[in-house]
Amino acid sequence: MALIRCEDVSIGYEGQTVVRDLNFSIEAGDYLCIVGENGSGKSTLVKSLLGLKGVEKGRIIYGDGLRKNEIGYLPQQTEVQKDFPASVYEVVLSGRLNSRGLKPFYTGTDKKQAAEKMELLGIRDLENQCFRDLSGGQKQRVLLARALCATRTMLLLDEPVTGLDPLVTAEFYQLIRRINRESGIAVVMVSHDIESAVEDATHILHLQEKMLFFGTADAYRTSRIGRKFLSGAAGHEMGKTDRDAEDNRQNDKKQSRNGGAGSV
């Protein structure tokens, strides 16, 4: 049975239907990327999968023993999160809150889990540092470790690389791939980076008020909607590269003129 199955799901926001008639499922070990333009309902869907927002129509079914409070969640970063005055260890350990039940204190198992997740993500040496003093990439690793402490089954990541530089972004994607492939944890990630999504994911869900596509990443590459958006992303990147190259040429010309004037 699927971990999560959506059947004819429609979701609204402030009285308006944002996304409608969704039918898809997430299996154990899947890596699903949810893509689409701004306002297409991606983050709203994530909140509904977490049980934080109800559905207008249809139903979301949880299977294989998965409970909503056992899904590891990495939300979009806010300014409050970035300036959180706690140690790295305290932030990671807080991921065990849902599993604690009515127990007033963290157990030895909770603390062991936090240490293992920090080790896995290469942040054990940061455990005593204040979270707000870390770089953007380090903060995301800490929050990912926290999300991993909450689950053994599924991670939900809402645009986790926003604001990160290209090198840190590539490293973060590599971490997600490794977690998915080595641990078998299902990953559901909202992303604007369609090219990376197709490269890493097993499945793609493309939204634009409704479900434009759901299927394997390979099938998405050859689909009409996939070819359209992938070619658009490639064209945007080529245009950016051309603009960067032109800027470099103009800078070279300025430096050449300045150098010539100085030599005279």
Q: What pLDDT shows up at residue 262?
A: 37
Cα–Cα distance for residue pair 229/61, rounded to 1 Å: 30
Cα–Cα distance for residue pair 102/104, rounded to 1 Å: 6
Q: Is the pLDDT of residue 255 over 50?
A: no
Nearest Cα neighbor of 4 from 155, 212, 146, 148 is: 155
Provide mean pLDDT across the span 25-33.
Answer: 96
Provide mean pLDDT across the span 68-76.
Answer: 91
Is 264 among the domain residues?
Answer: yes
Min mean pLDDT across 78-92, 119-133, 157-171, 196-210 is at 78-92
Q: What pLDDT shows up at residue 244?
A: 44
Is 254 among the domain residues?
Answer: yes
- Three-class SS state of 58: strand
Q: 3-state SS of the chain: helix, strand, coil percent to 5?
A: 50, 25, 25
Please state, for a pLDDT cut of 90, what percent of the chain lies above it. 67
Cα–Cα distance for residue pair 242/240, rounded to 1 Å: 5
Q: What pLDDT shows up at residue 145?
A: 96
Q: What pLDDT shows up at residue 101?
A: 63
Is 251 among the domain residues?
Answer: yes
Is 115 among the domain residues?
Answer: no
Is 128 among the domain residues?
Answer: no
Min mean pLDDT across 72-76, 154-158, 241-245 is at 241-245
Q: What pLDDT shows up at residue 68?
A: 87
Backbone angles phi, psi at 162, to 5 degrees: -60, 125
Q: What pLDDT shows up at residue 233?
A: 65
207-242, pLDDT tens digit by residue? 998 999 999 999 999 999 999 988 876 555 444 444
Distance in Å from the first CA to the final CA of the chain: 79
Is 256 among the domain residues?
Answer: yes
Q: What pLDDT shows up at residue 102?
A: 60
Total-model pTM = 0.83
97-111, pLDDT tens digit by residue? 877 666 678 899 999
Q: Is 172 or 85 the better-scoring residue by pLDDT? A: 172
Is 262 among the domain residues?
Answer: yes
Q: Which residues form the domain of 243?
A: 223-264
Cα–Cα distance for residue pair 44/38, rounded to 1 Å: 11
Is 175 among the domain residues?
Answer: no
Backbone angles phi, psi at 32, to 5 degrees: -100, 125
Domain count, the chain: 1
Q: Is the pLDDT of residue 250 over 70?
A: no
State the DSSP code for 94: G
